[in-house]
Amino acid sequence: MSRIEIYDTTLRDGAQREGVSLSVADKLKIAEKLDEFGVQYIEGGWPGSNPKDIEFFKKAAGLKLKNARLCAFGSTRRPGEPVNDDPNIKALIESGTETVTIFGKSWDFHVHHALKTTLEENLAMIKDSVAYLKSLGKEVIYDAEHFFDGYKANPEYALSTLEVAVKGGADVIVLCDTNGGLMPWELSAILKVVKDKVKTPLGIHVHNDADMATANSLLSVQEGITHIHGTVNGYGERCGNANLCSIIPNLHLKMGLQVVSEKQLQNLTKLSRYVAELVNIAPPDQQPYVGFNAFAHKGGVHIDAVSKKPETYEHANPALVGNQRRILVSELAGRSSITIKTNDYAYHLDKNQPETASVLQKIKEMEHYGYQFEGAEGSFELLVLKMMKSFQPLFKLEGFRVIIEKREDGQLFSEATIKVRVGNVQIHTAAEGNGPVNALDNALRKALEEVFPDLKKFKLTDFKVRVIDGVDGTGAQVRVLIETRDEHKSWGTVGVSPNVIEASWIALMDSLEYGLICRRLPEFKEVKDVLDQLKKSQV
């Protein structure tokens, strides 16, 4: 089999997902990351459709790509117009890329109702456009839009659109399942016919509306197709495009087809999360290979087996794609969960230690009350420290008051007053916020930052509130999950109470305390000078 080529269309087709709006700077950054990762083609956009993509191609000319070829995307010439005068074709040429991708209609239904032209004119449009771009020395990739739907409706005409693209000199013919409804058995049958008719290298471009995009892409490779289109994280219009974050590792690890190097494959999870961060969409935790939960284990039996032989409950080594195994702690856990979990800490609990059983029992009691430690590893580690009698609180709450006032102008105003004790010094302060929790956070930081300046580096990045049981209405138990990060890592903490303010306070306290412990706080005697100064200032 010839080498498999990966064609990434995140910057064009992926950007058609609802809620995605990439700036030119974003697109340039993603293009560089895709090139580092090792894809062979990067589709940068449609310069004939918008000014942003025109600007992108001008700036992209300065990129020093090492692995990928940059492609400009566009359509065939318009009906009844000379190809050399067509504005879309001109924009493709002016983009300056050596490779261009053009799409044409394969479905007679589209020719009649979308283009509103004749079947013969559509064939001429395809041939003229491909031939003209080839005459200018371009590598031409031809996307046969709606090919499979077109074939099912009128196989003879759909095949004739491919034949004229071949006659025009297309370097690759890409078969597109544009509506995303193709079934794998239909794909196999149609590909057998196409391969008998077309000897030019074939590609596949499928959408995921029937949840078949990954399967259809891999099956296409098995059937001899060597040019695969997709997007990072499967971004795309409606239900998305074929997901390269699944396709690439499946090709490499399941089919033995190396499309990027092993070192580059180890950056797959990083690439997935980098692009997700730029498009500002949280990636699905359950996403195969690169998801946060892709190699997470919760059941006690599973965890015990994985601790002995990972392959008992893992289909692949997470390190191969840059991900990592996660051991979740819950009421379903056994002692092995605690043992494996504490391997990552400065201390370690043995499976047979009495403390291990005590920690497990405490977790089960707290989860029965409403706690959840799966996304709150900071609170879990603090719990273990307390159970081992090796925890010394860094500060102690003596009380807080929160005032919420709705003013005449309609604005809500929150103020928190707080008293905390560090050592033998009481600190009493107040702060405002855009809500009660934000006011508490600001007041606590204001009270402690002089003693613990590292708090200035902590940023609260997520705040989730969930009613655990709605039977009691507004008096129901509430669980609050907080995510915090500094310049090195992020961590989650949890609080539970019938009062949302108290639940938030518990999670907030854990968040700051855990972060300070992780930064290897100075010995208390080194903080004493600051405390002495504070005490003197209060006298």
Banded model confidence at residue 524, pLDDT cuts 50, 70, 90: very low
Phi–psi pair at 173, nearest 5 degrees: -110, 115
User: Looking at residue 539, what is its pLDDT?
Assistant: 41
**Contact status, residue 479 vs residue 490, Cβ threshold 8 Å:** no
More confident residue, 17 or 334: 17
User: Looking at residue 333, what is its pLDDT?
Assistant: 52
User: Looking at residue 146, what is its pLDDT?
Assistant: 97
Joined tokens for residue 242: 């074929």
Shared domain check, 244 and 133: yes
Banded model confidence at residue 537, pLDDT cuts 50, 70, 90: low
Residue 527 has pLDDT above 70, yes or no: no
Count CB-CB contacts under 10 A for residue 347.
Answer: 12
**Mean model confidence pLDDT for the chain:** 87
Kindly report the CATH number assigned to the domain that includes residue 524. Answer: 3.30.160.270
User: Looking at residue 367, what is its pLDDT?
Assistant: 75
Q: Is residue 486 part of a domain?
A: yes
Shared domain check, 320 and 434: no
Residue 533 has pLDDT above 70, yes or no: no
Shared domain check, 217 and 76: yes
Q: Is residue 270 part of a domain?
A: no
Q: Is residue 22 part of a domain?
A: yes
Across the range 503-507, mean pLDDT stands at 92
Q: What is the pLDDT of residues 229-275, one digit of tens each?
A: 999 999 999 999 999 999 999 999 999 999 999 999 999 999 998 99
Q: Is residue 278 part of a domain?
A: no
Residue 374 has pLDDT above 70, yes or no: no
More confident residue, 180 or 424: 180
Quick one: residue 169, left, alpha or beta (phi over 0 = left, psi -120 to 50 = alpha)? left
Lowest mean pLDDT among 259-268, 380-389, 394-403: 380-389
Lowest mean pLDDT among 166-175, 362-371, 425-434, 483-492: 362-371
User: Looking at residue 343, what is its pLDDT?
Assistant: 54
User: Looking at residue 389, what is its pLDDT?
Assistant: 66
Instruction: Put the strands of the sheet holding 412-422 in their side by side order.
Output: 396-406, 412-422, 425-433
Q: What is the pLDDT of residues 135-162, one digit of tens each?
A: 999 999 999 999 999 999 999 999 999 9
Our count of domains for the chain comes to 3
Q: pTM of the predicted model, to two decimals? A: 0.71
Q: Is residue 271 part of a domain?
A: no
Shared domain check, 461 and 319: no
- The closest alpha carbon to 175, from 220, 133, 219, 130, belongs to 220
Shared domain check, 297 and 221: no
Shared domain check, 421 and 293: no
- The closest alpha carbon to 225, from 246, 255, 249, belongs to 255
Q: Is residue 386 part of a domain?
A: no
Q: What is the pLDDT of residues 181-198, one digit of tens each?
A: 999 999 999 999 999 999
User: Looking at residue 522, what is its pLDDT?
Assistant: 46
Shared domain check, 320 and 241: no
Is the CA virtual torsion 29, 30, 31, 33 positive or negative?
positive
Adjacent-strand bridge partners of 492: 483
Kindly report the CATH number assigned to the domain that includes residue 255. Answer: 3.20.20.70
CA distance linking residue 270 with residue 33, whole number of Å: 10
Considering the chain, what percentage of its residues have pLDDT values greater than 70? 88
Task: State which H helix or E strand residue 168 sits in.
Answer: helix 155-168
Q: Give CA separation, 223 vs 187, 220, 426, in Å.
A: 9, 5, 73
Residue 73 has pLDDT above 70, yes or no: yes
**Strand 326-327 to strand 227-230: parallel, antiparallel, or no bridges (unpaired)?**
unpaired
**DSSP tag of 111:** I
Residue 96 structural domain: 5-260
User: Looking at residue 191, what is its pLDDT?
Assistant: 98
